[in-house]
């Protein structure tokens, strides 16, 4: 077991070891401080809840006392007087100019107002059957309506208790502040105090009136002692994280960044990799830097070998193309010699046709040889121009001087495309020389909607009717151009009556 632990520890990086050691050392202290903070926070919370409940009960008692005072002021005349007239005289006799007291109205059993003391007019005087007193919230007028009746409901007294006259004495509680105080009853509410929302709410019933008093409190900010207790675990973990980051940054991250910067700025062909000076106790990083230097040296050596091999390959390829071009020129010269010695006109024309195709292939190799080092492909404009010159030079006597015009965009093609295109141009132009020797030929290359494709068009003017299809070489011509179109992997569009041929060919990206 111990050996396995040592092996595992040896495999861990230096930064991981540092973080594990710091975390293990600070974990007990962090747990103790965290538990202490949680206990203190719970105790403080419970204390605030208890104080809020007691304070709400005190406010409810004050409201209940105000309501009882109004009930007592009305119940005494009801108990002592015989009828409504006696009660009215008793109430009005107690009114003093300097202190008239609350407005009290008397109603008989039918709800008819009999009298009222000076003050705001009391609007209603009724009670449900079987109820001799009630307290109701009038949220529209912001007041409480207090109603008292004799047991037989023969007389009913009612008074109004506005919000401003409810004597709630607000006292500051330690650690808490009253923000809102309101009365609730059957969906109606009456706000007594409103200084904003609070996070603690408590509800206490006011006697047996059916009215509830709800109070909201906002605890004061936690004291410095509680703040310190709560912040201790956070501070410890922050200290551990910062210390661990500082050590790991200096031991691992900063040296790795220096090494990465040196590698990123390194370019092949500018000598070996120059390593920065790494002042770090982490031997893994130093060994990694040495490995990078060793690999860079090997890459440089391998790159030099590849460059030498590439140069040799280019030389060999150039030599091959040069020899092929020379051999084609030799073959063309031999064919020309045999053509001069031929007495039969048909044989002479056959030699000339073969020579034109050999010249077309030589043009392709010559242009490809010229563009070999840049690897830009064969320029279609140059290829078509040289082919046109050779075809005019080797034209049959009847077509001597036939104009061949070019209208081509600037585009390059690969050798696999250049060879069949050269043969296609040669076949079509040669056929037009025999079928329409007095006409002219236009070779054009146009752009298409696809960036990597172009439309090659060969057409003649003033072609006699059925001149192409009646030609003895037409059948062989069709087989040849069909094969060339198959090599270009594109359908050939031809109108033999008008002398128009078109095919889409692949071109190299610009």
DSSP 155-169: EEEEEEEEGGGS---
Domain end, chosen from 194, 224, 254, is at 224
CB atoms within 10 A of CB 209: 21
Q: How many Cα neighbours within 13 Å face the side chain of 374?
A: 9
pLDDT < 70 positions in the chain: 1-27, 29-30, 33-34, 41, 80-85, 90-101, 171-175, 220-230, 237, 241, 245, 249, 266-275, 277-283, 285, 321, 325, 328-330, 332, 334-343, 348, 351, 368-375
How many domains would you assign to the chain? 2
247 domain-assigned: no
The pTM (predicted TM-score) of the whole model is 0.42
81 domain-assigned: yes
Q: What is the pLDDT of residue 406?
A: 92
Closest by CA position to 457, among listed 505, 412, 415: 505
Question: Which pair of structure tokens corresponds to residue 217?
Answer: 């409190």
Answer left, alpha or beta for residue 487, where phi above 0 means left and psi between -120 and 50 means alpha.
alpha
Q: How many Cα neighbours within 13 Å face the side chain of 399?
A: 23
Q: What is the pLDDT of residue 445?
A: 93
Summarised one tens digit per residue, pLDDT across range 407-448 is 999 999 888 888 889 889 988 988 888 888 888 999 999 999
Domain end, chosen from 224, 251, 280, is at 224
- With tokens 């005494």, the residue in question is 76
In sequence order, what are the residues at sequence separation of 6 or more whose Cβ sits closer than 8 angstroms to the Cβ of residue 224? none
Q: In this structure, are residues 102 and 70 in contact, taking their beta carbons and an 8 Å threshold? A: yes
**8-state DSSP, 397:** G
321 domain-assigned: no
| CATH of residue 479 | 3.30.565.10
Q: What is the pLDDT of residue 493?
A: 93
Write the DSSP string, 105-120. EEEETT--EEEE-SSS
410 domain-assigned: yes
Q: What is the pLDDT of residue 340?
A: 64
Domain end, chosen from 224, 249, 275, is at 224
272 domain-assigned: no
CA 238 to chain CA centroid, Å, is 31
Q: What is the pLDDT of residue 313?
A: 80
Range of the structural domain that residue 46 is part of: 11-224
397 domain-assigned: yes
- 157 has which bridge partners? 106, 148
Q: In this structure, are residues 149 and 130 in contact, taking their beta carbons and an 8 Å threshold? A: no
CB atoms within 10 A of CB 348: 16
Q: What is the pLDDT of residue 297?
A: 78
């Amino acid at each position: 077991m111990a050996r396995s632990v040592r092996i595992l520890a040896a495999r861990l990086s230096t930064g991981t070891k540092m973080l594990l050691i710091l975390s293990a050392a600070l974990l007990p202290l962090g747990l103790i401080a965290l538990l202490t903070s949680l206990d203190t926070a719970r105790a403080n919370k419970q204390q605030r809840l208890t104080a809020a409940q007691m304070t709400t009960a005190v406010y409810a008692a004050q409201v209940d006392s105000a309501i009882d005072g109004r009930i007592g002021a009305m119940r005494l005349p009801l108990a002592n007087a015989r009828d409504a007239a006696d009660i009215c005289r008793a109430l009005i006799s107690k009114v003093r100019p300097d202190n008239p007291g609350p407005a009290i109205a008397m109603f008989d059993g039918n709800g008819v107002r009999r009298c009222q003391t000076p003050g705001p007019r009391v609007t209603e005087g009724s009670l449900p059957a079987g109820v001799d007193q009630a307290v109701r919230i009038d949220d529209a007028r912001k007041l409480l309506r207090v109603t008292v009746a004799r047991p037989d409901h023969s007389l009913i007294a009612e008074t109004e208790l506005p919000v401003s006259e409810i004597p709630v004495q607000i006292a500051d509680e330690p650690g808490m502040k009253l923000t809102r105080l309101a009365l609730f009853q059957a969906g109606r509410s009456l706000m007594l105090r409103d200084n904003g929302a609070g996070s603690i709410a408590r509800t206490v019933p006011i006697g047996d009136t059916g009215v509830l008093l709800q109070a909201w409190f906002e605890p004061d900010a936690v004291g410095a002692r509680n703040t310190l207790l709560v912040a201790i675990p956070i501070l410890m973990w922050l200290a551990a994280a910062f210390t661990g980051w500082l050590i790991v940054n200096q031991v691992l991250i900063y040296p790795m960044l220096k090494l990465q910067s040196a590698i990123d700025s390194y370019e092949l062909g500018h000598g070996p990799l120059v390593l920065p000076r790494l002042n770090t106790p982490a031997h893994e990083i130093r060994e990694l830097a040495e490995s990078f230097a060793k690999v860079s040296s090997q890459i440089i050596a391998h790159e030099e070998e590849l460059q030498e091999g590439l140069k040799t390959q280019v030389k060999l390829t150039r030599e091959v193309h040069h020899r092929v071009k020379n051999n084609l020129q030799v073959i063309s010269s031999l064919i020309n010699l045999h053509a001069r010695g031929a007495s039969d006109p048909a044989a002479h024309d056959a030699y000339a046709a073969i020579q034109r195709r050999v010249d077309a292939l030589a043009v392709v190799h010559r242009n490809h040889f010229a563009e070999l080092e840049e690897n830009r492909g064969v320029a279609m404009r140059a290829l078509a121009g040289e082919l046109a010159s050779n075809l005019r030079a080797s034209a049959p006597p009847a077509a001597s001087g036939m104009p061949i015009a070019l209208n081509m965009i600037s585009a390059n093609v690969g050798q696999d495309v250049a060879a069949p295109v050269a043969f296609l141009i040669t076949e079509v132009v040669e056929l037009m020389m025999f079928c329409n020797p007095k006409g002219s030929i236009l070779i054009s290359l146009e752009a298409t909607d696809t960036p990597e494709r172009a439309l090659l068009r060969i057409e003649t003017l003033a072609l006699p009717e059925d001149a192409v299809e009646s030609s003895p070489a037409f059948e062989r011509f069709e087989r040849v151009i069909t094969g060339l179109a198959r090599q270009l992997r594109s359908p050939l569009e031809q109108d033999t009556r008008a002398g128009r041929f078109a095919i889409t060919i692949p071109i190299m990206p610009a």
